[in-house]
Amino acid sequence: MRAALTAAARGVRGANPVVGAALLSVEGEVLHVGHHRGAGTAHAEVAVLDAAREAGTPLQDTTLLVTLEPCHHTGRTGPCTKAILRAGIGRVVHAVADTTDAARGGAAWLREHGVEVREGLLAAEALELNERWLRAQQQRRPFVSLKIAQSIDGRVAAADGTSQWITGAPARAEGHHLRTRVDAVLVGGGTLRSDDPSLTARTPEGELCTRQPLRAVMSTRPVPEAARIRGADGRFVHLDTHDPREALTRLRDRGAAHVLVEGGPTVAVAFLAADLVDELWLYQAPLLLGAGASSVAGLGIKTLAAASSWRGDPVGVPDGAVGAVGEDLRWHLRPAPS
Amino acid sequence: MRAALTAAARGVRGANPVVGAALLSVEGEVLHVGHHRGAGTAHAEVAVLDAAREAGTPLQDTTLLVTLEPCHHTGRTGPCTKAILRAGIGRVVHAVADTTDAARGGAAWLREHGVEVREGLLAAEALELNERWLRAQQQRRPFVSLKIAQSIDGRVAAADGTSQWITGAPARAEGHHLRTRVDAVLVGGGTLRSDDPSLTARTPEGELCTRQPLRAVMSTRPVPEAARIRGADGRFVHLDTHDPREALTRLRDRGAAHVLVEGGPTVAVAFLAADLVDELWLYQAPLLLGAGASSVAGLGIKTLAAASSWRGDPVGVPDGAVGAVGEDLRWHLRPAPS
């Protein structure tokens, strides 16, 4: 299961949880590992079975270890339960149960079909990997990523409001890649008026990426007809509310399972104060401004002991929670377990 | 010279510059490298000659490459020029000349004594390593390090002023180690009143380290008799000025060649605005505060294009400019070359 957990952390969290799987020989040797690479791609179980098939590894007497209960559900991919049965796997061990309405029931179905199933190995670690993802599911809302691009001293704009571009080209390219991974990108009215962003996902050469997120603005004020965010592809959403829960409900109704909040500070604080941020992508440029809007202002925290606490999160990052991106730094964080 | 430059970057900058040296065979092969490990320890030239002696490497026909002109000066260690001559080295190549009053003239002295000396190989890179150190020397002032410990959103204290401790134990231990490397630690009156710091260098177990810096407060207000910073060892300095240049002059007169400014924001800004910060040690804790004092406030920068620009600096850090320290991150920066 340790190998499966390590494999899981190579995946990316978002619409789907991170999941890893390992195939064990009867002697307990790890034959193959696999992980889920994000929404729309093969689940971890299928990935590891594919690896075994490709290598010609016989599957009889092997045990499949997986960090999350195999799904019994046809979404963008088929149910893992049937793939496991088809492959002739006789024994499955999963770390934690899948409690989501859509995918639950995989273990019971496998047992009915003669597969031996055990649960609970390294459950705490597996749960921690997807704690916030499971919470988002329980709250029937999309998984929320917050991206902040700030100076050394935590400013997202200079005194005169200029904010483009604080970070360098490599960090901005990562931001565009993140947009291709999510279902919706959300900004507030302040960002709309100051930056007039298009919110499209673009390559470093400025070409539109194939997969484009919904482009949402959360503002009770009208959105100018000429605003770039409107685009011409019908993927623009005006959320005329200040309530982040309401905004997420409306985006879920548009099919969004993963929302990226890109600012500004007012919108960031609305989501943070409601404990609706599941991960934080912090990009910091080697600049000092000494004035201008702080990235996060007005959380209602009065004393240090009450600070909102986070943890560096290496999941989905090639080189660990903290890394250099061009001249900038990237810190990937998740809320500290409560 | 490339090997010498790489070796130099393993050193630490402070009272002394970082310097690396390499010994080349007549075939141009790198036989040994050495670097200077900080004030009071062997210079790079002596380190590489010691390494050669220990390995029994014959020195005839070798060339000594060094990133800075060999010193001709007896400070805490003897002059490198004499050590080179004594070792029988016939050829020296240095990247940049030493222009400091105390140590200059090494190349001329070596030539007078029959050693062939060349200058200028990879000079730009060698200069960049010590650009700010050389500037401090030209300005006849100590080298200045600024340490900031802040939250994700750039706050050094919560709304109620609480600031101890923002960072975790491993980052604080690094801070104490930094104090042992400097000649003076400086804070402002605000930090004195809010934290009553002792400013001593202590081990993680709370024991006083052998080497203690001067403890300076920069404030025009009186320092309470009971303030911890006073201590009982005569190493307390009250700088009753708001002028950072004046403060540095007075610390230099007390023998300080390396000053660590530990805050708070007012003192940090005074040094930053005067372009008197030669390196920045940024420690950032995985906390959001949303209110409270920003680490840097009031630099007089109005627009993004005028931001004070820095560069990640891997010199003196084992794992690169950006790294994790416990749950916190460390970013070592130097001012971008102007």
Our CA-based measurement puts residue B157 at a distance from the nearest CA of chain A, in whole angstroms, of 7
Cis check: omega of the bond before B312, within 30 degrees of 0: no
**Window from A184-188, A253-257, B81-85, B103-107 with minimum mean pLDDT:** B103-107
Residue A338 has pLDDT above 80, yes or no: no
For chains A and B, CB pairs below 8 A equal 184
**How confident is residue B133, by pLDDT bands cut at 50, 70 and 90?**
very high
> In this complex, is the C-beta atom of B208 within 8 Å of any C-beta atom belonging to chain A?
no
Mention every residue, 6+ apart, whose C-beta is less than 8 A from residue A261.
Answer: A144, A145, A146, A147, A186, A187, A267, A268, A271, A277
Residue A30, pLDDT score: 95
Q: In chain A, positions 251-270, which contact chain B (CB-CB < 8 Å)?
A: 269
Query: Is residue A251 within 8 Å of residue A237, measured between CB atoms?
Result: yes
- The reply to whether A180 sits in an annotated binding site is no
**How confident is residue B75, by pLDDT bands cut at 50, 70 and 90?**
confident
**How confident is residue A295, by pLDDT bands cut at 50, 70 and 90?**
very high
Mean pLDDT within B218-231: 96
Residue B103, pLDDT score: 79
Residue B234 has pLDDT above 80, yes or no: yes
| Residue B2 CB neighbour total at 10 angstroms | 13
Residue A74, pLDDT score: 80
Residue A8 has pLDDT above 90, yes or no: yes
Query: Is residue A146 within 8 Å of residue A282, measured between CB atoms?
Result: no
β-bridge partners, B280: B146, B333
CA of A274: how far to CAs of A242, A307, B101, B157, B232, in Å?
12, 14, 61, 23, 51
Of chain B, the percentage scoring pLDDT greater than 90 comes to 82
Do A290 and B297 lie within an 8 Å CB cutoff?
yes
In Å, how far from its chain's centre is CA A205? Answer: 25
CA closest to A273 among chain B residues: B290
Four-CA torsion A253, A259, A265, A270, nearest 10 degrees: 50
Do B290 and A312 lie within an 8 Å CB cutoff?
no
Our CA-based measurement puts residue A223 at a distance from the nearest CA of chain B, in whole angstroms, of 26
Mean pLDDT within B35-53: 91
Residue B305, pLDDT score: 94
**How confident is residue A76, by pLDDT bands cut at 50, 70 and 90?**
confident
Alpha helices in B30-168 (DSSP H): 44-55, 80-87, 106-112, 123-129, 131-138
CB < 8 Å to A323, chain B:
322
Do A154 and B157 lie within an 8 Å CB cutoff?
no
The pLDDT mean for chain A works out to 94
The Cα–Cα gap between B97 and B109 comes to 13
Q: What is the pLDDT of residues A223-245, one digit of tens each?
A: 999 999 999 999 999 999 999 99
CB-nearest to A162 from B150, B303, B321 is B303
Mean pLDDT within B189-217: 94
Do A158 and B304 lie within an 8 Å CB cutoff?
yes
Our CA-based measurement puts residue A163 at a distance from the nearest CA of chain B, in whole angstroms, of 6
Residue B325, pLDDT score: 96
The Cα–Cα gap between A31 and A51 comes to 9
- The reply to whether B71 sits in an annotated binding site is yes
**How confident is residue B60, by pLDDT bands cut at 50, 70 and 90?**
confident
Residue B262, pLDDT score: 96
Residue B318, pLDDT score: 82
For residue A327, is it left (φ>0), alpha (ψ between -120 and 50) or beta? Answer: alpha
**How confident is residue B30, by pLDDT bands cut at 50, 70 and 90?**
very high
Element (H, E) at B215: strand B214-218
Residue B36, pLDDT score: 94
Residue B38, pLDDT score: 86
Can you tell me the ipTM of this complex? Answer: 0.90
Cis check: omega of the bond before A165, within 30 degrees of 0: yes
Mean pLDDT within A55-66: 93
Residue B95 has pLDDT above 90, yes or no: yes
CA closest to B306 among chain A residues: A289
Do B159 and A320 lie within an 8 Å CB cutoff?
no
Q: What is the pLDDT of residues A135-187, one digit of tens each?
A: 999 999 999 999 999 999 999 999 999 988 999 999 999 999 999 999 999 99
CB < 8 Å to A312, chain B:
286, 324, 327, 329
> In this complex, is the C-beta atom of A329 within 8 Å of any C-beta atom belonging to chain B?
yes
**Tell me, what DSSP letter sits at residue A162?**
-
Residue A77 has pLDDT above 80, yes or no: no
Residue A116 has pLDDT above 80, yes or no: yes
The Cα–Cα gap between A162 and A151 comes to 12
CB < 8 Å to B151, chain A:
154, 307
For A244, the 3-state DSSP assignment is helix
Of chain B, the percentage scoring pLDDT greater than 70 comes to 100
A141: tokens are: 């809302």
Residue B76, pLDDT score: 76
Do A302 and B160 lie within an 8 Å CB cutoff?
yes
Our CA-based measurement puts residue A181 at a distance from the nearest CA of chain B, in whole angstroms, of 24
**How confident is residue A39, by pLDDT bands cut at 50, 70 and 90?**
confident
